[in-house]
């Protein structure tokens, strides 16, 4: 009887270790594939229950840390993007000023050409 209990306990421990390894491997694969990591996605990809993922401290900590790192990298990306957006605005303003200047110059040249054509017409008559 005691032998059966020991075998059951070994089996439970083995299954638990296999489940942990499967969850951690799933998390690593998801990170490598740049996929968002959360409890639901790990549950779906690994086939483990959400309850197990939440109640196993090592796995829970791993998922929460990964989510926090993803959130931090998104925040950094958005800060960079916002800076890029601001610099784009500066470039657009510079281009608009240059375009206005060129349009003004173009208008002056057109009026000069009109005057010169008039002078040529007067000379030829």
- Residue-wise pLDDT for 86-99, tens only, equals 778 888 899 999 99
CA angle in degrees (0–180, nearest 5) for 86-74-59: 175
- How many Å apart are CA 97 and CA 93, to the nearest integer? 6
> Considering only CA atoms, which of 64, 16, 26, 17 is closest in space to residue 47?
26
- Residue-wise pLDDT for 15-35, tens only, equals 889 999 999 999 999 999 988
Question: What's the whole-model pTM score?
Answer: 0.55
> Considering only CA atoms, which of 63, 64, 72, 58 is closest in space to residue 45?
63
Give the relative orientation of helices 2-32 and 39-46 as an angle to the nearest 10 degrees: 110
Instruction: Indicate the pLDDT class of residue 120, thresholds 50, 70 and 90.
Output: confident
């Amino acid at each position: 009887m005691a032998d059966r209990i020991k075998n059951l306990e070994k089996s439970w421990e083995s299954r638990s270790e296999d489940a942990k390894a499967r969850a951690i491997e799933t998390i690593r694969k998801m990170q490598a594939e740049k996929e968002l990591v959360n409890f639901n996605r790990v549950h779906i990809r690994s086939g483990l229950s959400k309850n197990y993922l939440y109640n196993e401290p090592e796995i829970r900590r791993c998922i929460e840390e990964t989510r926090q790192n993803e959130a931090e990298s998104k925040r950094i990306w958005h800060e960079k993007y916002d800076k890029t957006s601001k610099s784009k605005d500066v470039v657009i303003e510079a281009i608009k000023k240059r375009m206005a200047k060129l349009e003004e110059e173009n208008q002056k040249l057109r009026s000069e050409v009109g005057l010169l054509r008039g002078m040529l017409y007067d000379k030829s008559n």
